[in-house]
Each structure stands twice: as C-alpha cells, then as structure tokens.
Amino acid sequence: MTLPKPYLLHVPDDKGYFGAYGGSFIPPNLQTEMDKIYAEYKRISKSADYVAELRSIRKNYQGRPTPISYAKRLSNHIGGGRIYLKREDLNHMGAHKLNHCMAEVLLAKHMGKKKVIAETGAGQHGVALATAAAYFGLECDIYMGAVDMEKEKPNVVRMEILGAKVIPATEGLQTLKEAVDKAFMAYLEDPENILYCIGSVVGPHPFPYMVREFQKIVGIEAREQFLDLLGELPDHVVACCGGGSNAMGIFSGFIDDPTVKLHAVEPLGKGTNELGDHAASISHGTDGVMHGFKSIMLHNKDGEPAPVHSIASGLDYPSVGPEHAYLATEGRTEKGAGATDQETAEAFFTLSRFEGIIPALESAHAVAYAIKLAKQYPDASILVNLSGRGDKDLDYVVSKYPELLQAPVEGR
Ligand SMILES: *Cc1c(COP(=O)(O)O)cnc(C)c1O
C-alpha cells in the first residue's frame, strides 16, 4: 500500500481517477457540461465568499459541528472495545446527506443556476436536495421511478411539502435506472440554467471528488473531537457503505493515519452469496463501468447492473464510489466488513435500548459491525459514523421484526 500523502490533495487526479477507478464514461454533450462544472467548482470552491457562506450554513442552519457520543452502556454491555458515535443523525433533517446537498445547491447559486435536479431511489437524496433548494430559493425537480414513488410515499410527500416537483419515470421497470435516464435527458435540455446534483460519491467526474470534498467536514470534525476527548486517535473507524458518501466523509479525516483501520460496511442482505440477495459490491463485485464511472460492481450475465437487496433502501446500489474501489484494492480499507439484514435489525434495537438513539437502518449496519469488532478487539476504540436517524424506518422495522420489539429489555 503506497498512497500519496497528503492523500486528499493528490487523489483523485485531474481526470477524476482514483488509481484505475473513476473517470467519466458519458456522451460528449454531457461531458462538456461535466467539464464546465469541474472548472467552475475549482474556481468557486476557492472563493472567500463561497467558503464563508458554506461555513455559516454548516454552523447556523445544519447545526454543525455534530458531537461525538461515547456509547457507554452499549460498550459495557458488550464487555469489549469502546464504541463512539459521530452523530450525523443530529444534522438538520436527520442525516449526513445535507452536508453535500447544501454545498451542491450553494455551488448552483454561485454558478447562476435557477434550478437543481436529481434522481432519487428511495427518496432520501430527493428530500435532502429539496431542503437545500428551499433554503436557497431555487426550483427543484426530482425524478423518481413510478414504482418507487408508490413504495416511498412519505418521502414523496416530504419533497412536495418542501416545494419540489416530483416527476415520475414511467418507462421500463419504473425504478432508479429509468429515473436517472429521464433526469439526464431533462438536464441536457437546459444545462445553462440547471445543475444536476448527484447524491453520493458516484457518477462521472467531478461528482465522486466534489461530494467527498463536501462530506469531509465529518472527518475533519471527528478527528479533532476524538483527539480532544481521548488524547489519541481511534483504532477503528466504521461507516456503512451504499454509494459511500458518509464513509468517505469520515474516512477523509483519518486516511493519512496508518494506525487507524477503516471499515466500509456493506449490506449483506439475506446473508447468502446469491446475486440479488445482497448489495455487497466490494466483497462480491468485479470491475466494470456503469452510471458513467468505472468501479467495482455487481453485474448479471448480460453485464447489466444486477438486482440487489438490503433492508436499508439507502444501501441497495449495485456498485460503490470509485474511491472505495481504489481504497479497497490498495488495502487501505479492511476486507470483509458487512452486516446482514438480521444483524442490522438487532443492532437497531440494541442501540435504541442501550443508548436512547434510534439509528437509520443504513447506519445500523455500521453499528452491527462495530459490535462485532468490539467483541473481537476488547482493548480497541471504535468510532462509528452514525449517518442518520431512524424515524423513517420505524413502521418497516416493527412490522418486519415484531419479535425484536417484543423481546425482553436487557440490562435494567
Ligand atoms: C443515503 C444514506 C446512506 C447511504 O449513502 P452513502 O452515500 O453510502 O453514505 C447512509 N445512511 C443514511 C442515513 C442515508 O440516508
């Protein structure tokens, strides 16, 4: 493993490559627009106005810095390593996604755009973008598969309350892929006035790079807070990994510290290696290109994105950001970090009952894996990025896992 140092200044390169991964595989007319966004981002992100405005928003609107909480009762209960939580669930709107959405829409404003658009699968990215658009007073169109709209009604309503227009994709299977296609088509009709906002560290260059830059605030804060709290760095840093934005956010703070082990926790779903039963792209995927970038991904026999499954809708993506593919192949992130649906549901209740914190099902994957690490390394300190709160998941969890709700409460 020979990563350049300081890592964040050297990776990716100017074409958006993280080693062999990343880049941009899109039609020429879209490439022209991505080149413009990259050039503008490089210029605006260095301007004092932009930096000052973003800093003020982080503090006065989002509620940053978010604290680190020591999960004392949980750690004592496990009787092993000590678990600490970076509380991204305390961000305005309850998740880390606002970190990049506020910065993306601020960028749109500085670029003189009138509208932001995006696709959304389960609706979480759409809600965060609709929030940011309301704050800045920009129009917001969210493209969503008609089937997904039916499944995720509360998020559709949230977006509409926030003043966004939710546009159904009624083509093909009427899910995420059709929504992506439709949103890109709309974007190309009026790129002068619109900024396309991607919801994770995925997509063509410059998005994996920009979204990491927008999320790295989590790692910067966490490193300083942890040192302040304990006088040393954590032994392990753990985050769930869908596209990988919250994981890149917290990893960014520790990537140059070789003693800190980084774990990107993948959704193991039903716990089999069967394609369609999980969404563990790093563990089970192969190199390929989809959605405009090169990474590790899950393909079916025809090379198309494979069907995936996870109880956390924010994690069911058949690939992973190119930077995660790079860090995994370089050995900077640890192998085999994952949690099944069942382990995740159990961790959801364990954290709720021992700490009074109800995590998002996505974040509960990271908690489940931290519990495994704590048992394995009794002397270790383990920092978890608690990417979001679980209010959105309550109905699903109690209907799917009634036995966990009815289980006796331990430890009091
Ligand atoms: C969307 C979401 C995720 C997954 O996205 P990443 O880009 O992998 O971080 C994780 N946690 C929460 C709470 C989310 O809403």
Task: Estimate to the nearest angstrom the gap between the alpha carbon of 199 and the chain centroid.
Answer: 8
Q: What pLDDT digit, counting tens, does each position of 317-326 carry?
A: 999 999 999 9
Q: What pLDDT digit, counting tens, does each position of 5-61 carry?
A: 999 999 999 999 999 999 999 999 999 999 999 999 999 999 999 999 999 999 999
CATH code of the domain covering residue 47: 3.40.50.1100
Q: What pLDDT digit, counting tens, does each position of 140-155 carry?
A: 999 999 999 998 899 9
Q: Which of 33, 104, 119, 355 is catalytic?
A: 119
Length of the chain counted residue by residue: 412
User: CA 310, CA 323: separation in Å to the nearest integer?
Assistant: 22
411 falls within a domain: no
Our count of domains for the chain comes to: 2
User: CA 44, CA 365: separation in Å to the nearest integer?
Assistant: 36
Centre of ligand 1 to C-alpha 193, Å, is: 28
388 falls within a domain: yes
76 falls within a domain: yes
Same domain? 106 vs 90 = no
Tell me what pLDDT residue 117 has.
98
Q: Which residue reads 């930077």 in tokens? A: 323
Same domain? 262 vs 188 = no
Same domain? 287 vs 376 = yes
Centre of ligand 1 to C-alpha 22, Å, is: 20
Same domain? 168 vs 237 = no
Q: Minimal CA–CA distance to 364: which of 381, 334, 384?
A: 384
Tell me what pLDDT residue 238 has.
99
Q: Which band of pLDDT confidence, cut at 50, 70 and 90, is reported for residue 190?
A: very high
Which of 151, 176, 208 is the last residue before a domain boundary?
208
Same domain? 168 vs 72 = no
Tell me what pLDDT residue 93 has.
96
Same domain? 311 vs 397 = yes
Asked if 152 and 122 count as a contact pair (C-beta separation under 8 A), the reply is: yes
Same domain? 35 vs 144 = yes
35 falls within a domain: yes
Centre of ligand 1 to C-alpha 300, Å, is: 24
Same domain? 71 vs 117 = no
Q: Which residues line ligand 1 (CB under 6 A)?
A: 95, 97, 124, 200, 240-246, 314-315, 360, 362-363, 387-388
What pTM did the predictor assign?
A: 0.97
Same domain? 242 vs 357 = yes
User: CA 406, CA 241: separation in Å to the nearest integer?
Assistant: 30
Q: Which band of pLDDT confidence, cut at 50, 70 and 90, is reported for residue 177?
A: confident
- Dihedral (C-alpha) 378, 216, 239, 298: value to the nearest 10 degrees? -140
Q: Is the pLDDT of residue 1 over 80?
A: no
Q: Which band of pLDDT confidence, cut at 50, 70 and 90, is reported for residue 360?
A: very high
Mean pLDDT value of segment 317-346: 97
Same domain? 88 vs 225 = yes
Same domain? 144 vs 291 = no
Examine the residue annotation and report whether 387 is marked as an active-site residue of this protein: yes
Query: Percent of the chain having pLDDT more than 70?
Result: 100
Q: What pLDDT digit, counting tens, does each position of 213-269 carry?
A: 999 999 999 999 999 999 999 999 999 999 999 999 999 999 999 999 999 999 999
Same domain? 136 vs 73 = no
Q: Which band of pLDDT confidence, cut at 50, 70 and 90, is reported for residue 356?
A: very high
Q: Which band of pLDDT confidence, cut at 50, 70 and 90, is reported for residue 175?
A: confident
Q: Is the pLDDT of residue 2 over 90?
A: no
240 falls within a domain: yes
C-alpha dihedral sign at 181, 183, 185, 188: negative
Mean pLDDT value of segment 272-289: 96
Q: What pLDDT digit, counting tens, does each position of 102-135 carry?
A: 999 999 999 999 999 999 988 999 999 999 999 9
Which of 155, 174, 208 is the last residue before a domain boundary?
208
Examine the residue annotation and report whether 97 is marked as an active-site residue of this protein: yes
252 falls within a domain: yes
Q: Which of 24, 295, 381, 387 is catalytic?
A: 387
Query: Percent of the chain having pLDDT more than 90?
Result: 93
- What's the chain's average pLDDT? 96
304 falls within a domain: yes
Q: Minimal CA–CA distance to 84: which of 391, 383, 387?
A: 383
Q: Which of 75, 86, 88, 97 is catalytic?
A: 97
What residue spans of 18-170 are helical by DSSP H? 28-44, 48-57, 72-78, 97-110, 124-136, 146-151, 153-161
Examine the residue annotation and report whether 45 is marked as an active-site residue of this protein: no
For residue 324, give its domain range.
63-94+216-406
